[in-house]
Amino acid sequence: MIPRYTCPEMAELWTDQARFSLWVRVEVLASQAQAFLDVVPADALDDIVRAPVPDPARIAEHERERDHEVLSFLAAYCEGMPEESARWVHLGMTSYDLVDTALGHTLARSCDLLIRATTRLREVLADRAAEHWGTLCVGRTHGVHAEPTTFGHRLAGFAFAMDRSLQRLRAAREAVAVGTISGSVGTYALIDPFVETYVCGELGLGVEPAPTQVVARDRHAQLVQAVATLGGCIEQIALELRLLQRTEVREVEERRASAYQGSSAMPHKRNPTTSERLCGLSRLLRGYASMALEDVALWHERDLAHQAVERVILPDCLAVAHYQVIAAVELVSCMEVFPDRMRQALDTTGGLTLSSAVLADLLRDGVERETAYRTVQSAANRSLADGTDFVAELGKEGVAAGVTPERFLVHHDVILKRLDALRERED
């Protein structure tokens, strides 16, 4: 992913230097395990441990000759030790024992960064929901005024969406935090399973229970789908803020510095560019999800069709999602809310949003449903057409109504208690 949408701590995990450093760590751990089994001599192990991480440029030089990245890495790595010790490196292993075990560790660490950021977003949403729990606004369905609600209630829905995203991310982390060191076609024919247990244990990974030489790619698909769903939830927040920042609505606005310039031609513009950016990035994440699903099916014990795809989509999707969540934290925590504008919008239709409460009163009073509905609808249609007060129009129908927007918050405290429990949760 381009630096514009990559945070430094995530980028650091996916550099070539970080990858080759981790490969060295896997090889050292495997050699240590082999030494415990009296397979690798102690003096050779010392040389293997002391050998430096090879320079990526040197690995690239070897790869131009070998056209095989792992063999090129091993050639460059073994240059840092005596030949008699180098022959013990990678003993009994196949390429993807190294690649997939290291990848599992990198994915786990990347998930940790993403989970930490998403937890923070959930907290910010929950806190701002509590802050605006009593801020009345109009609820909209199909983009049209429906019934009264509060802005805090709306934000609470987003907070619970982040909580569900966290559950999905944690499950996906567990799925991808695995390795395998089982040799060619995963049979352990030339390597003791203890090596796998030791290496994966030291790296904090589980093991693939029935390896085929590679870690199963449905694990990675699960992660990318969880990330894409997280992106969709953030898009829902960003889209809501975009709609509320429209000039004719202006109930919410992205906070801007005094030097902000929203248009090269129109100095008055204050555009919701952060929200728009978050919506756009979600499209990338959905695209990555479909590609990850394409990688699940491999020929027999393995093929290499997945490699080129995941080299791009795994670091990219995690970088995009991490950036997106951090940007969303800033957006939500700093957004400006205009309660007066919200109340003004609620009152714009002269009480039409209270029609369901009036209908409920008539039904409780024993009026037949069709008659009650048509009576309220007739008054509503005149109010909307003529711009008159809805309650006054109800009076012409012989209906006395004294409802207020606050009536719709009778059971509001039930959701507030759930929100409070979410805010108090310790992960």
Q: Per-residue DSSP letters for 55-124?
A: PHHHHHHHHHHH--HHHHHHHHHHTTS-HHHHTTTTTT--HHHHHHHHHHHHHHHHHHHHHHHHHHHHHH
Please return the burial class of 170, using the count of CB atoms within 10 Å of its CB with bins 0-12, 13-18 and 19+. Answer: middle
Tracing tokens 């030097």 back to the chain, one arrives at 259
The β-bridge partners of 136 are 150
Write out the catalytic residue numbers. Answer: 142, 263
> Within 10 Å of residue 68's Cβ, how many Cβ atoms?
13
Residue given tokens 């969406």 in the structure block: 161
Of 51, 71, 48, give the one whose Cα is nearest residue 59: 71
User: C-alpha angle 102/23/19, rounded to 5°?
Assistant: 75
382: exposed, middle or buried (C-beta count within 10 Å: 0-12, 13-18, 19+)? middle
Tokens representing residue 416 in the block: 């507030």
**SS3 of residue 142 by DSSP:** coil
Tell me the two tokens of residue 284. 């990338």
CA gap 87, 83 in Å, rounded: 7
CA distance 380 to 349: 10
Please state, as a whole number, how many other Cβ atoms lie within 10 Å of the Cβ of residue 424.
Answer: 8
The tokens describing 426, both together, are 């310790």
Distance CA 47, CA 297 (A): 40
The token duo for 245 is: 């920042």
Residue 337 DSSP SS3: strand
Tokens 């840092």, residue? 80
* The two three-digit tokens of residue 175, written as one number: 């799925």
φ and ψ at residue 149, rounded to 5 degrees: -145, -165
Cα–Cα distance measured from residue 320 to residue 279, given in angstroms and rounded to the nearest whole number: 12
